[in-house]
Amino acid sequence: MATEEIEQQQNKTKHKGKHDKPKPWDEDPNIDRWKVEKFDASWNEGGMLEVSSFSTLFPVYREKYLQDAWPVVKSALKEFGIACDLNLVEGSMTVSTTRKTKDPYIIVKARDLIKLLSRSVPAPQAIKILDDEMQCDIIKIGNLVRKKERFVKRRRFLVGPNSSTLKALEILTGCYILVQGNTVAAMGSFKGLKQVRRIVEECMMNKMHPVYNIKILMMKKELANDPALANENWDRFLPKFKKKTVKQKKVKSKQKKPYTPFPPPQPPSQIDIQLETGEYFLSDKKKSAKKWQEKQEKQAEKTAENKRKREAAFVPPKEPPKQDTNIDGDNNDIATMAKALKEKAKALGKRKAAESINPEAYIASSSDQKHFKKRSKASS
C-alpha cells in the first residue's frame, strides 16, 4: 500500500506544471496588456443575430434633465447601431441592439451609459463611456456604515472642502468621480478605477483618510518618473500612517434585578388611601375643612420659613472664640526661671572667685590681721 501511494505522488509531481511553461509573449516588454484595441467593423460583418436589451429606472428629479439631453444621447448611440427609448410614464431608459450593430460589446457600454445617466452623471461626460479605453465603476457605499451621521461625516471626508479632495483624486488617478447619495460613480482606466475603489472603501470603513492616500499617490507619481527606481520596491519611500486609537468612555451597565416570576405589587389607588386614613367616610364639609386646614398649615410653615430667611440677613456673624491665656501659670513659670538663673549666676561667681585667689597674698593678709589684733590688745 505504501509503495502504491509513493508511485501515485511521483506521477502527480511528474505532470505538475505541464501546461504552465513560459510563453515567449509573457515577458515581452513591447506588449501592453492594459491596452484595449479599438473595434473594427470588418471583424463582424454579419452583425448581431439576436436582439439584446437592457433597461434601468431613474429618479423623478432626473426626468427634466434626461428629457432635454435625450436627443444628444440618442445621436451618440445611433453611431454604434444602438436603439434607445426613454419612457417617462414608467421612469425607465432602455437600450437594445439592431441589425446595424456590429460591435457585440457596445450593448454593455450602452447599459453603463444609462446607469451613469440615472446616477446624476452629466450627459456629455456619460457619453464618453462608449469609447473602448473608458471604463466605469459604480461603488455602493450605503451599506458600509450603519449610522447615518457617521456615514454623512465620512462621505464629507471623501468630498473635502469645496470638493478639493475629490479634485485631487481625479487628477492623480485620471478618473472622473461623482459622489451622489449612496453611490460613487467613477469613469476612467482599469488601473485608476482600482485605486478609486480602494480609496473610497478605506475612507468609508475608516481605515485611512483620503488625504493620506493622496500623499501616497503623489509620492508614487514622483517615484515613477525616476528610471533608477523603476524595478525596485517603493515601500521604504512611502509613509506609514498609524491609526490613533481614541479611548472611549465606558458605558455604565445597569445591574440587573434578580428575576422573580411574580409581578410587582400593585400601587394603592387614591380611594384605597382614603379608606386607610378614614377620609373616604367624611362628609363634603369636613373634607373641605380638612383641606383648608392643611392649606393653612402649609402656608404658615412657608411664611415662617420666609421670615427666618429674611431675619438671617440681620443676624451678626459669630466671633471666633478667644484663646484662654493662663496668666498666673505664666507668671509662676517666669519667677521660677528667674530664681534658677540667679542661683546659677551666684554659683558661677563663687567658682570664679575661688579660682582667682593668690595664696601668698592670702597668707600675708592673714598675718597682718593677727599683728594688728595683738597691738590693739597691748595698747589697751
pLDDT, residue 363, reads: 54
Topology of domain 36-133 in CATH is: Ribosomal Protein S8; Chain: A, domain 1 (3.30.1370)
Spans of the chain, pLDDT less than 50? 1-2, 368-380
**Max Cα-Cα span within the chain:** 189
For the chain, give every domain's residue range. Answer: 36-133, 134-240
Tell me whether domains 36-133 and 134-240 share a fold. yes
| CATH homologous superfamily for the domain 134-240 | K Homology domain, type 1 (3.30.1370.10)
Report the predicted TM-score, pTM, of the whole model to 2 decimal places. Answer: 0.56
pLDDT tens for residues 4-57?
555 555 555 555 566 677 777 777 777 777 677 788 888 888 888 889 999 999
